[in-house]
C-alpha cells in the first residue's frame, strides 16, 4: 500500500494507542491546547514517593499526530524520575515516532507542554511551588 | 475500498478510457497539424468532444474553451475577463464559500486595485439573491459565485443570482465544477456568462476541463503563444483527455436521469442513518438544496482528521474539512488553516475541529451505505473514549 503522510510508528500508535484512559487517583494532571486549534491533550500522572513515574495515562482530542505523540510520550515516561520527565523534549518524541510532517511538529510540542503542566500540578498537590518546574526546566535547557 | 470522496474526483467510466486510448497509440498527431491524417484525426476528435461538452450544458461549440483543470477555468474566467473588460470597474463580488481557485484569485487582484465584496451565506451555505442585488455597484465588473459547494454540498439559487446580474448588466461567472454530472447544467437557464466544469468530476479523466464563454463576452487568454483554442489558451491541447471529457459529457447527458435519483435515494439513507445515530453529530449544508449523494457533518468531541484516518483504515475513502489535514504536506503549521467554509456557515470553532464529507458516485451501492452505517458507531465510540472532552457533558 502507498505510504501516507505518517510513519509506520505514528500509524501504529494511532491505531493502538498505549496508556489511553484516565487515572482516578492521579497526583498530577495536565491539560493543554484548545478545541479551536484542533487539539486538546490531557495527561494523568501517578508519581510515587521516590519521585518515579509509576503510571501515566492520556486522553487526546486531535489529529493522528496528536494521538500518536501523546501515546509515545506516555511510553517514554513510565519508570522515569521527575527530573528525567522534565528532560523529555518534543524532539525525543518526534524521533521515537520516526518523524512527523513539519506542519505537525506542534503536536509533539503539546505533549511536552502537557507533561510540564502535569508536573506543575503534581508539585502543587505536594504543597510545593509549581514554579520549581520552570526552574528545573530552565536548568536542563542550560545544561544541554 | 469504498470510495466516498467523489467531490475530489470520480472514477472514469470504462467507456471514457476506451475512447481515449487510441489517441495515445494511433491518433497521436498534434491537432494543429491539419495536413496529414493523424493530425486531422486528432483535430476532428477534439472538435467532436467540444460539441458533446457544449451540448451537455446547452451551449454552442464555439462557446467552449478547453483547459487543463477547474482551477485553470476559474482563473481564465476571472483574470481573462477583467484583462479584457471594457468595463473599467474595479469591484468584484464573490461569496465567502468559494473554492480556493476563485477566492485566492480575487484576493490577489486586490494588489491591482480591485475591491472585493464577499457575500455572506446563511447557516446552510446559501447566498440570498437580494444580498447580491444590494451589493452590486456602478463599478462592479464581475460576479463569481459557485453552483455547488464541494465541502458542504449546498447548491445555490444560481439562476436567480444570474438574473440579478443580467438585469444589472454585470458579467456572471459560475464555478460549476462540483455540480457537473450531478445537477443539470443549462447555461441559458442559469443566466450565466461564463461557467467552469472539470472532466474528472463527472467520470472523465483528469487533465481536461472547460470554460464556457457566452458568445459576445470578451475574455483574454492568460498564456501567450500559439493560436490554440482560438487564442483563449495557447499550448498544445491534451487531446486524449479532451476526447475523454467529450465522451464523459455525452454519457452524463444521456444517463444522469438514471443515476441522480439513485444518488438521492442513497443520500437520504445515509443522512437519516447518521442523524439517528448520535445526538452530537451535526450536518453541514442545506438539506434540500444539496449535491445528490453528498452528506457532510461534524461530530462534537472528535477531530476531523482522526475520524478520516480511522475510516480509511477500515476501507472508506472520505474527505475531511479538518484544519489539521487540509494541507498536511505543508512546510509549517500556519498553512493548516481552519476551513473558512465551516466558519462561514457558523460552525462553532470552539467545539468543532473539522468536518467529514462523504460524496457518492454512480458506482456506489446500497451495500456501501449499509457498511458505512455499520462501522460509524464503533469508530465514533472509540474516538469519543479517547477524547478528554467527551465525559464533560
- How would you write chain A as a 3-class SS string? CCCCCCCHHHHHHHHCCCCECCCCCCCEEEEEEEHHHCEEEEEEEEECCCCEEEEEEEEEECCHHHHHHHHHHHHHHCCCEHHHHHCCCHHHHHHHCCCCCHHHHHHHHHHHHHHHHHHHHHHHHCCCCCHHHHHHHHHHHHHC
Three state DSSP letters for chain B: CEECECCCCCCCCHHHHHHHCHHHHCCCCCCCCCCCHHHHHHHHHHHHHHHHHHHHCCCCHHHEEEECCHHHHHHHHHHHHHHHCCCCCCEEEEECCCCHHHHHHHHHHHHHCCEEEEECCCCCCCCCHHHHHHHCCCCEEEEECCCECCCCCEECCHHHHHHHHHHHCCEEEEECCCCECCECCCCCCCCCCEEEEEHHHHCCCCCCEEEEECCCCCCCCCCCCCCHHHHCCCCCCCHHHHHHHHHHHHHHHHHHHHHHHHHHHHHHHHHHHHHCCCCCEEECCCCCCECCCEEEEEECCCEHHHHHHHHHHCCEECEECCCCCCCCCCCCHHHCCCCHHHHHCCCCCCCCECCEEEECCCCCCHHHHHHHHHHHHHHHHHHHHHCCCHHHC
Nearest to A59 among B302, B309, B387 (CB): B387
Tell me, yes or no, whether B6 lies in a domain: no
A90, A109 Cβ separation under 8 angstroms: yes
Whether B60 and B196 map to the same domain: the answer is yes
A37 catalytically annotated:
yes
Q: Do A38 and B322 touch (CB under 8 A)?
A: yes
B218, B87 Cβ separation under 8 angstroms: no
Best of A1, A26, A33, A63 to disrupt the B interface (most B CBs within 10 Å) is A63
pLDDT of residue B333: 57
Tell me, yes or no, whether B2 lies in a domain: no
Tell me, yes or no, whether B120 lies in a domain: yes
Q: Do A64 and B323 touch (CB under 8 A)?
A: no
Q: Do B328 and A103 touch (CB under 8 A)?
A: yes
- pLDDT(A144) > 80: no
Domain extent for B372: 256-392
Closest chain A residue to B335, measured at CA: A103
A46, A25 Cβ separation under 8 angstroms: yes
Q: Smallest CA–CA separation between B330 and chain A, in Å? A: 6
B310, B322 Cβ separation under 8 angstroms: no
Whether B151 and B277 map to the same domain: the answer is no
- pLDDT(B39) > 80: yes
Contacts with B, A 89-108, CB within 8 Å = 101-106
Judge whether A109 is closer than 8 Å to chain B, CB to CB: no
Whether B140 and B207 map to the same domain: the answer is yes
Q: Smallest CA–CA separation between A61 and chain B, in Å? A: 5
Encode pLDDT of A59-95 as tens digits: 999 889 999 999 999 999 999 999 999 999 999 999 9
Whether B226 and B271 map to the same domain: the answer is no
Whether B167 and B112 map to the same domain: the answer is yes
Tell me, yes or no, whether B279 lies in a domain: yes
Judge whether B325 is closer than 8 Å to chain A, CB to CB: yes
- pLDDT(B182) > 60: yes
* Residue A101, burial from CB neighbour count under 10 angstroms (0-12, 13-18, 19+): middle
Chain A residues lying within 8 Å of B330, measured CB to CB: 101-103
Domain boundary among B217, B232, B252: B252
Pick the CATH number of A8-143 from 3.40.50.740, 3.40.50.200, 3.90.180.10, 3.90.1010.10: 3.90.1010.10
Q: Copy the grid coordinates of residue B8.
A: 475530489
Domain boundary among B252, B267, B285: B252
Classify the complex by whether its ipTM is higher than 0.90, answering yes or no.
no
Closest chain A residue to B390, measured at CA: A61
Q: Give the number of domains in chain B.
A: 2
Find, among A48, A72, A47, the residue nearest to A58 by Cα: A72
Encode pLDDT of A98-139 as tens digits: 999 998 999 999 999 999 999 999 999 999 999 988 998 888
Q: Do B352 and A35 touch (CB under 8 A)?
A: yes
Contacts with A, B 333-362, CB within 8 Å = 333, 335-336, 338, 349-354
Domain boundary among B215, B231, B252: B252
d(CA B293, CA B362) in angstroms, rounded, equals 9
Whether B217 and B289 map to the same domain: the answer is no
Whether B188 and B277 map to the same domain: the answer is no
Whether B198 and B278 map to the same domain: the answer is no
Encode pLDDT of B197-226 as tens digits: 999 999 999 999 999 999 999 999 999 999
- pLDDT(B320) > 90: no
Tell me, yes or no, whether B3 lies in a domain: no
Q: Do A61 and B302 touch (CB under 8 A)?
A: yes
Q: Smallest CA–CA separation between A138 and chain B, in Å? A: 26
Confidence of residue B136 (pLDDT cuts 50, 70, 90): very high
Whether B142 and B104 map to the same domain: the answer is yes
Q: Do B353 and A31 touch (CB under 8 A)?
A: no
Q: Smallest CA–CA separation between A103 and chain B, in Å? A: 4
Q: Smallest CA–CA separation between A95 and chain B, in Å? A: 18
Residues 6 or more apart whose CB falls under 8 angstroms from that of B1 comprise B315, B316, B317
Q: Do A38 and B313 touch (CB under 8 A)?
A: no
* Catalytic annotation, pick one of B318, B324, B352, B384: B324
- pLDDT(B117) > 90: yes
Whether B321 and B229 map to the same domain: the answer is no
Find, among A77, A14, A75, the residue nearest to B312 by Cα: A14
Confidence of residue B350 (pLDDT cuts 50, 70, 90): low
A119, A85 Cβ separation under 8 angstroms: yes
pLDDT of residue A1: 55
In chain A, what are the domain boundaries? Answer: 8-143
Tell me, yes or no, whether B175 lies in a domain: yes
Encode pLDDT of B283-294 as tens digits: 999 999 999 999
Whether B32 and B160 map to the same domain: the answer is yes
Closest chain A residue to B313, measured at CA: A15
Best of B280, B314, B388 to disrupt the A interface (most A CBs within 10 Å) is B388
d(CA B315, CA B301) in angstroms, rounded, equals 23
Q: Do B388 and A59 touch (CB under 8 A)?
A: yes
Q: Do B335 and A103 touch (CB under 8 A)?
A: yes
pLDDT of residue A101: 92
Interface A-B: count of C-beta contacts within 8 A: 93
Domain CATH code at residue B97: 3.40.640.10
* Catalytic annotation, pick one of A15, A37, A131, A138: A37
Whether B52 and B197 map to the same domain: the answer is yes
Closest chain B residue to A34, measured at CA: B350
Domain CATH code at residue B264: 3.90.1150.10
* Catalytic annotation, pick one of A107, A118, A119, A136: A107
Amino acid at each position: 500500500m502507498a505510504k501516507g503522510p505518517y510513519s509506520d510508528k505514528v500509524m501504529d500508535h494511532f491505531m493502538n494507542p498505549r496508556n489511553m484512559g484516565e487515572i482516578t487517583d492521579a497526583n498530577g494532571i495536565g491539560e493543554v491546547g484548545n478545541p479551536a486549534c484542533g487539539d486538546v491533550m490531557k495527561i494523568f500522572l501517578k508519581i510515587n514517593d521516590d519521585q518515579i513515574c509509576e503510571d501515566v495515562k492520556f486522553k487526546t482530542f486531535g489529529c493522528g499526530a496528536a494521538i500518536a505523540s501523546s501515546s509515545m510520550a506516555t511510553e517514554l515516561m513510565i519508570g522515569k524520575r521527575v527530573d528525567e520527565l522534565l528532560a523529555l523534549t518534543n524532539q525525543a518524541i518526534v524521533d521515537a515516532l520516526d518523524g512527523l510532517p513539519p506542519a505537525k511538529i506542534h503536536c509533539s510540542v503539546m505533549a511536552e507542554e502537557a507533561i510540564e503542566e502535569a508536573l506543575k500540578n503534581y508539585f502543587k498537590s505536594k504543597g510545593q511551588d509549581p514554579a520549581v518546574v520552570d526552574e528545573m526546566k530552565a536548568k536542563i535547557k542550560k545544561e544541554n | 475500498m469504498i470510495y466516498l470522496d467523489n467531490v475530489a474526483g470520480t472514477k472514469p467510466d470504462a467507456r471514457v478510457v476506451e475512447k481515449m486510448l487510441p489517441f495515445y497509440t494511433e491518433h497521436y498527431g498534434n491537432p494543429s497539424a491539419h495536413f496529414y491524417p493523424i493530425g486531422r484525426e486528432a483535430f476532428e476528435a477534439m472538435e467532436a468532444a467540444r460539441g458533446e461538452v457544449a451540448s451537455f450544458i446547452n451551449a454552442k461549440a464555439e462557446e467552449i474553451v478547453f483547459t487543463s483543470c477547474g482551477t485553470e477555468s476559474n482563473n481564465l474566467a476571472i483574470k481573462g475577463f477583467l484583462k479584457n473588460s471594457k468595463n473599467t470597474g474595479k469591484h468584484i463580488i464573490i461569496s465567502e464559500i468559494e473554492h480556493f481557485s476563485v477566492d485566492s484569485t480575487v484576493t490577489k487582484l486586490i494588489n491591482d486595485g480591485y475591491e472585493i465584496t464577499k457575500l455572506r451565506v446563511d447557516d446552510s451555505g446559501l447566498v440570498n439573491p437580494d444580498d447580491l442585488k444590494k451589493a452590486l455597484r456602478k463599478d462592479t465588473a464581475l460576479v463569481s459565485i459557485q453552483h455547488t459547494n464541494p465541502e458542504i454540498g449546498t447548491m445555490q439559487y444560481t439562476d436567480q443570482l444570474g438574473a440579478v446580474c443580467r438585469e444589472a448588466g454585470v458579467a456572471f461567472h459560475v464555478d460549476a465544477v462540483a455540480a457537473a454530472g450531478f445537477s443539470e447544467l443549462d447555461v441559458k437557464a442559469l443566466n450565466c456568462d461564463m461557467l467552469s466544469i472539470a472532466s474528472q468530476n463527472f467520470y472523465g479523466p483528469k487533465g481536461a476541463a472547460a470554460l464556457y464563454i457566452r458568445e459576445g463576452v470578451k475574455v483574454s487568454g492568460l498564456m501567450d503563444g500559439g493560436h490554440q483554442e482560438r487564442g483563449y489558451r495557447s499550448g498544445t491541447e491534451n487531446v486524449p483527455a479532451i476526447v475523454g471529457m467529450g465522451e464523459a459529457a455525452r454519457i452524463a447527458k444521456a444517463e444522469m436521469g438514471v443515476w441522480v435519483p439513485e444518488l438521492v435515494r442513497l443520500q437520504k439513507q445515509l443522512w437519516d442513518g447518521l442523524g439517528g445515530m448520535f445526538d452530537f453529530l451535526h450536518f453541514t449544508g442545506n438539506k434540500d438544496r444539496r449535491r445528490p449523494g453528498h452528506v457532510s457533518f461534524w461530530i462534537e468531541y472528535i477531530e476531523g482528521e482522526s475520524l478520516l484516518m480511522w475510516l480509511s483504515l477500515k476501507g472508506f475513502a472520505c474527505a475531511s474539512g479538518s484544519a489539521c489535514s487540509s494541507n498536511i504536506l505543508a512546510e509549517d503549521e500556519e498553512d493548516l488553516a481552519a476551513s473558512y467554509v465551516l466558519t462561514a456557515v457558523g460552525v462553532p470553532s470552539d467545539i468543532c475541529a473539522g468536518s467529514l464529507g462523504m460524496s457518492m458516485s454512480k458506482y456506489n451501492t446500497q451495500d456501501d451505505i449499509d457498511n458505512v452505517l455499520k462501522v460509524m458507531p464503533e469508530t465514533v465510540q472509540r474516538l469519543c473514549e479517547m477524547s478528554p472532552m467527551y465525559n464533560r457533558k
